[in-house]
């Protein structure tokens, strides 16, 4: 099960306990950048984890054996797959990222480009809002209808996969290129085969 559109995956594992009853344990993958972790829990309690986090490391939550499992704080944005609200930040690119969950800078840039909106725009006209809503709707339809569509890996100048997208990007940073792959698993397998390049 995925936690909304966050990069948190929980796998339930059913086993037979000593009294012949079903015991469900959880393997929780928190793929959240520098704070990524793998946690093994049972009945809401942490059995162990790949990385331990104590009070000195985090005041919000501790990840230690025998403590209750507390999920990371939820993102406050709206799901890009369900809704879109007004922007109130410094520019349209930052606003789109802040107002939603499930998208990053590359996807936000692509949506604005598809809508013909400058990413540095600080306020959208009614016409621009409608064009952006149409671009988001097109992405929604594509994401919801295509179950086996190809994906596109964005490869950086250092020969590493920077991100994987469900659409062919039209905007690339200098030195980046893309590779089309049949599905997400193929893209992940391809990513680990690349040898990073050290730039001068």
Neighbours of 83 (CB within 10 A): 11
pLDDT at 178: 95
Give the list of residues 6+ apart from residue 124 with CB closer than 8 angstroms, or none.
87, 92, 117, 132
Q: In what order do the strands lie in the sheet with 37-42?
A: 8-16, 22-30, 37-42, 45-49
Helix axes 92-99, 105-114, angle to 10 degrees: 120
Name which residue leads in pLDDT, 142 or 77: 142
Length of the chain: 200
pLDDT, the chain, mean: 84
Share of the chain above pLDDT 90, in %: 32
Q: How confident is the model at residue 89 (pLDDT cuts 50, 70, 90)?
A: low
Q: What is the DSSP string of 92-141?
A: HHHHHHHHEES--HHHHHHHHHHTT--TT-SS--HHHHHHHHHHHHHHHH
d(CA 88, CA 159): 36
Highest average pLDDT, of 81-85, 115-119, 122-126, 142-146, comes from 115-119
Q: Is the pLDDT of residue 7 over 90?
A: no
Neighbours of 175 (CB within 10 A): 10
Average pLDDT value for residue range 94-105:
78
d(CA 112, CA 98): 14
pTM of the model: 0.57
Give the tens place of pLDDT for each residue, 37-86. 999 999 889 999 999 999 898 888 999 999 999 988 776 655 554 544 45
pLDDT at 83: 47
pLDDT at 13: 92
């Amino acid at each position: 099960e995925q936690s909304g559109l966050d990069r948190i995956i929980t796998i339930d594992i059913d086993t037979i306990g000593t009294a012949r009853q079903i015991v469900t344990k959880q393997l929780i993958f928190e793929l959240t950048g520098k704070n990524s972790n793998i946690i093994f829990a049972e009945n809401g309690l942490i059995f162990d984890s790949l990385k331990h986090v104590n009070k000195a490391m985090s005041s919000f939550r501790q990840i230690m054996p025998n403590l209750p499992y507390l999920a990371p704080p939820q993102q406050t944005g709206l799901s890009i797959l369900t809704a879109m609200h007004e922007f109130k930040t410094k520019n349209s690119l930052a606003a789109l990222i802040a107002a939603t969950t499930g998208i990053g800078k590359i996807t936000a840039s692509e949506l604005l480009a598809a809508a013909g909106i400058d990413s540095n725009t600080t306020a959208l006209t009614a016409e621009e809002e409608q064009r952006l809503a149409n671009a988001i709707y097109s992405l929604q339809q594509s994401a919801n209808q295509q179950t086996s569509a190809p994906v596109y890996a964005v490869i950086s100048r250092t020969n590493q996969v920077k991100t994987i997208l469900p659409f062919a990007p039209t905007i690339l940073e200098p030195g980046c290129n893309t590779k089309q792959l049949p599905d997400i698993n193929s893209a992940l397998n391809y990513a680990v085969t690349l040898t990073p390049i050290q730039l001068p």
